[in-house]
Structures are given as C-alpha cells and as structure tokens.
Amino acid sequence: MASEETVTGTTGAGRLAGKAAFVTGAAAGIGRETALLFAAEGAMVAAVDVDADGAAAVADEVVAAGGQAVALTADVAVEADVAAAVAAAEEALGRLDVVFNNAGIMLADDGDAQSTEEDVWDRTMDVNLKGVWFGCRHGIPALRRSGGGSVVNTASFVALVGAATPQLAYTASKGGVLAMTRELAVVHAREGIRVNALCPGPLRTELLMSYLDTEEKRQRRLVHVPMGRFGEASEMAAAALFLASDESSYVTGTEFTVDGGLTAAYVTPE
Ligand SMILES: NC(=O)c1ccc[n+]([C@@H]2O[C@H](COP(=O)([O-])OP(=O)(O)OC[C@H]3O[C@@H](n4cnc5c(N)ncnc54)[C@H](O)[C@@H]3O)[C@@H](O)[C@H]2O)c1
C-alpha cells in the first residue's frame, strides 16, 4: 500500500447506518458511485483504489457531504497491499461490515484463444480473480471480527452468457469470480457472513466506453440489450446497496444480475 489519507466527519442514519464498508475500485465507475451511495446511507467508507488521487477525491466528497471516509491506495493484485488496506480500514473505521470487491480491468488486447497473450491473461486474472480472492482472504476475517457481514464481488454478465467479442481472459476471470462467490457463500453461511456476486450488464463507464470507442460499436452492442441502453454505474450501486444491507439478510451465493434484460433475451425488440 503506497499511501493512506484519513478524513473524518459524522455518519448519519440510513440503510447502512453504523456499518463500515471496504470498497475497491472506488475512484471511478461502479466503485465511486457505490462508495458515495453507501456513505449517503450512513456507512463509514474505505475508498480503496490503485489511483490514489481518485480515491482521495471520493473520500473528500463523502466528508464534504457530512460522512466518514478513509482513502487507501492499493493494487488489489498485490496481497500485501490488500492486507495493509484491510488493516488500515479497520483501524480508521473501527470495524468492517461490508467488503465490496469491485476493482477490475478489461485489457484492450484481450482476445480469443489464439490472440490473447499470456501476459494479458495473467494480469487480467491477477486483478479480476486473484484480487477478489485477496479481498475475501483478508476481508472475511475482518467481517468475522465484527460479528458477521456481507461480501459483494463484482463479476459480469459475461460470466453467464458467451460473447463473440471476444475477451477470453476477462470472461474466464469473471466466471471464476462467480464460482468462488458460491463456494465462499456456502463455507461462511453459518458465520453470518453472506457472499454474493453482482453481475452488471454493459455500462456507460470508462471501462466499456473506452473500448467501444465509436457509435457503430456501441449500437452493435445495444442490439442485444432489451432496454436498448447501457446501464449506469449508479444502477449497480443501488444493487450493491441491497446486497450490502440487512435487507438481503437471506440472500447468499447468488449471481445478482443487473443487465437491462440482456441475459434473458433471445430476440430483442425492433
Ligand atoms: N463497465 C461495464 O460495462 C462492466 C460490466 C460488467 C462488469 N464490470 C465490472 O465492474 C467493475 C467496475 O468496473 P467499472 O465499469 O466501474 O470500471 P472503471 O474503469 O470505471 O473503474 C474501475 C476502478 O478500478 C480501479 N482499479 C483497476 N485496477 C485496480 C487494481 N489493480 N487495484 C485497485 N484498483 C484498481 C481503477 O483505478 C478504477 O478506479 C469491474 O470489476 C468490471 O469488470 C463492468
């Protein structure tokens, strides 16, 4: 972990009142929206990202709105970073009740079985799959110390349906997240620790829009989405909030799909 910045304010009431949440990939996209929503719902938030400035900006925004946050710099693919970030979050916030393993990458040169280079495969697996494992490995004991809690792991709709994109390493990594989520859900169910996967559809975030860099490419994708639009990071944050909160107290081991109907579709409307 390269740096740490602690900022504090007061926590309010809300659906996560009194809880502390560890959010990775918090500097942008889903993670950023979720960190802000969790804080608005009363959670103390550890905003964790490899982008130190971005994490600090989110933490500052939480504090400016009257919440409590700590910004932590960590590469989720580096176990020592994750271990240090969990320890720093617990130290700063006093407890952890929610771990949102959300950081992920989609590399431009990820391709099919022939074209994907081994280094692309390895980096994708390191961040998207091993990063989630490290988050669980160090986050679950912290939840246990708080008497239980909720883990939410960000997978993807590509863990559920094939895509002729292709992005083999990304897809395989997200399938791994889903399988790991189920197993951890079963292992920890009787400790009061729930583990669920969030499966977003295609979103209007930097991750996908930088890849779909022409209107033609975007329209080609939207053909497959019954709602006919990309999802918003804020719509994923709303789902993450449900999974993080006690409202989902009987929900564990699920693939919580938020995809505009994509995985339900065969023929979409004209
Ligand atoms: N955008 C989509 O269409 C889409 C669809 C399905 C699933 N997802 C998944 O949602 C998650 C969030 O995606 P997003 O769209 O918000 O992406 P994003 O690129 O907008 O944000 C990702 C954040 O993760 C951080 N990050 C990247 N690598 C990291 C690392 N090694 N350690 C710590 N932080 C790191 C980035 O700095 C960034 O702040 C990812 O796991 C992604 O695979 C996205």
Domain boundaries, the chain: 4-262
Q: How many residues does the chain have?
A: 270
Work out the average pLDDT over 116-131: 98
Q: Which atom of ligand 1 is nearest to the CA of 231?
A: 3
The whole-number pLDDT of residue 267 equals: 95
**pLDDT over threshold 60, residue 11:** no
Residue 72 to residue 94: CA distance in whole angstroms: 15
Confidence of residue 13 (pLDDT cuts 50, 70, 90): confident
CA of 79 to the centre of ligand 1 (A): 18
Q: Which atom of ligand 1 is nearest to the CA of 198?
A: 7
**pLDDT over threshold 50, residue 2:** no
The whole-number pLDDT of residue 4 equals: 54
Residue 201 to residue 262: CA distance in whole angstroms: 7
4-262 is a CATH 3.40.50.720 domain: yes
CA of 41 to the centre of ligand 1 (A): 22
Residue nearest to ligand 1 atom 19, measured at CA: 207
Question: What phi and psi values does residue 46 have, to the nearest 5 degrees?
Answer: -100, 110
CA of 156 to the centre of ligand 1 (A): 11
Three-class DSSP labels, the chain: CCCEEEECCCCCCCCCCCCEEEEECCCCHHHHHHHHHHHHCCCEEEEEECCHHHHHHHHHHHHHCCCCEEEEECCCCCHHHHHHHHHHHHHHHCCCCEEEECCCCCCCCCCCCCCCCHHHHHHHHHHHHHHHHHHHHHHHHHHHHCCCEEEEEECCHHHCCCCCCCCHHHHHHHHHHHHHHHHHHHHHHHHCEEEEEEEECCECCHHHHCCCCCHHHHHHHHCCCCCCCCECHHHHHHHHHHHHCHHHCCCCCCEEEECCCHHHCCCCCC
Per-residue model confidence as pLDDT tens digits over 18-41: 999 999 999 999 999 999 999 999
* Ligand 1 pocket: which of 1, 75, 205 to mutate (most atoms within 8 A of CB): 205
Residue nearest to ligand 1 atom 20, measured at CA: 29
Tell me the pTM: 0.96
Residue 243 to residue 60: CA distance in whole angstroms: 25
Per-residue model confidence as pLDDT tens digits over 228-270: 999 999 999 999 999 999 999 999 999 999 999 999 999 999 8
170 is catalytic: yes
Work out the average pLDDT over 103-126: 97
